[in-house]
Amino acid sequence: MAYDKSIAAFKEAYQVIPGGVDSPVRAFSGVEGTPPFIEKGEGGYLFDIDGNRYIDFVQSWGPLIFGHCDEDIENSVIKAVKKGLSFGAPTTVETALAEEIVKLFESIDKVRFVSSGTEAVMSAIRLARGITKRDNILKFAGCYHGHSDSLLVQAGSGLATFGTPSSPGVPEDLTKHTLLATYNDLASVEACFEDAKGEIACIIIEPIAGNMGLVPADETFLKGLRTLCDAHGTLLIFDEVMSGFRASLKGAQGISEVKPDMVTLGKVIGAGMPVGAFGASAKMMAHLSPEGPVYQAGTLSGNPVAMTAGLTSLKKLTSNPSLYVEFAQKAKKLVDGFQKAAAAVDVPMVTEVRGSMFGFFFSDKPVKNFDDACQNDTEMFAKFHKGMLDRGIYLACSSYETGFICTKTTDEMIDEAIKAAYETMAEIYK
């Protein structure tokens, strides 16, 4: 494939946008080549400015569960746009979308909309601190919860350690209140509770991690977290910005028996528009302004165009929950094909599927936490990614990201991707 126009566009963007991109992963720094600049999407395909067509297994990093330019969502958005882009005032569509979410999640009585997943998590943590009157929070290495200061931390050498900033510009006075534990390792969490001496406001976790590759939490681990939180008066927050309506109609909570105290959501509830949300019981949400003292606000929160897109998407999902069986079947067919293509040249690969989410690692052992993920062969992934891209297969441009199936992903597309995987692996080892 030719990428001349994209290469030129990237150079031009670099002059006026830091790194040439508005979100770091898009710069292709973890893989080979230059990022294609996208002109349009149609169904399960992307088209770049050079005229190349790609089968899209990223789907805008998750929200496009019905693919690009879904007719129902597109028509509802156009209708909403004709009424106005934003009002900064209440609309009935906010209530309608909130009602759809509350119906599906047992742990949510009320929900507050925001404009991003980062904002949803930041607000949920503030609410947890306000309710418990504690400062410390606990997160897991490898789980990404947005770029707010308290969550940009790196792990120390011990099992339980207070965080230090992983980015300049983040004060240590903030991250010192963030404890880090190891995903799927309950002993590391217990050590954090011992260190913090009853001062942990909340545990926040991706119950199905999607930002160190696809790494689900073990059910026994989640149950252990629930028990520890109950014993210590700590709130349990499930970050389902990525897994919500993707892993199942009810996200991780449609798979696990464990119920959190709070939930953060995003992606699918915006259907491609910038939307996030957080919810909890009515009692907990009553602590939030204007009912309670914990302040949170957003001028564009509940944007009517975004709310309309999300409502249309959710109604389509709830009217056909059997879609998730089809999603999982197609995702498994895809990664099984990748695994066989790798095995054909004696390269180890492990795979994972949860509903419409899939992941794979060039590794010879199961990946249970971030340390395991870091032992993945990233050089092999970079070569594989480039070979697949050159054959028209658009995969996430990092070995630590998750892939997605949409309703427009056909068996023929998956067959084409598997064929490309065999060709790519053969090319790498020719």
What number is the average pLDDT over the span 99-103? 97
Handedness of CA 72, 76, 81, 86 (dihedral sign): negative
Which residue out of 239, 250, 324, 400 is catalytically annotated? 239
What number is the average pLDDT over the span 43-53? 98
Which residue out of 54, 56, 139, 144 is catalytically annotated? 144
Q: How confident is the model at residue 159, as a pLDDT?
A: 29
What number is the average pLDDT over the span 19-38? 92
In the predicted structure, residue 162 carries a pLDDT above the cut 80 = no
**What phi and psi values does residue 10 have, to the nearest 5 degrees?**
-65, -40
Domain ranges of the chain: 4-69+322-428, 72-318
Q: What is the pLDDT of residues 67-77, one digit of tens each?
A: 999 999 999 99
Please state which CATH class domain 72-318 belongs to. Answer: alpha beta
d(Cα 260, Cα 95) in Å, to the nearest integer? Answer: 23
Active site residue 239: yes
Q: How confident is the model at residue 167, as a pLDDT?
A: 67
Which residue out of 110, 250, 267, 383 is catalytically annotated? 267
**What phi and psi values does residue 20 have, to the nearest 5 degrees?**
80, 5
In the predicted structure, residue 243 carries a pLDDT above the cut 70 = yes
Active site residue 144: yes
Q: What is the pLDDT of residues 315-367, one digit of tens each?
A: 999 999 999 999 999 999 999 999 999 999 999 999 999 999 999 999 999 99
In the predicted structure, residue 10 carries a pLDDT above the cut 60 = yes
Task: Report residue 403 CA to chain centroid gap.
Answer: 10
In the predicted structure, residue 126 carries a pLDDT above the cut 50 = yes
CATH code that applies to domain 4-69+322-428? 3.90.1150.10
CA distance readout (Å), 48 to 54, 56, 167, 394: 8, 12, 32, 11
| Terminal-to-terminal C-alpha distance of the chain | 20
Confidence bin at 165 (pLDDT 50/70/90): low
Task: Report residue 3 CA to chain centroid gap.
Answer: 28
Confidence bin at 391 (pLDDT 50/70/90): very high
Q: What is the pLDDT of residues 166-202, one digit of tens each?
A: 667 777 777 788 999 999 999 999 999 998 888 999 9
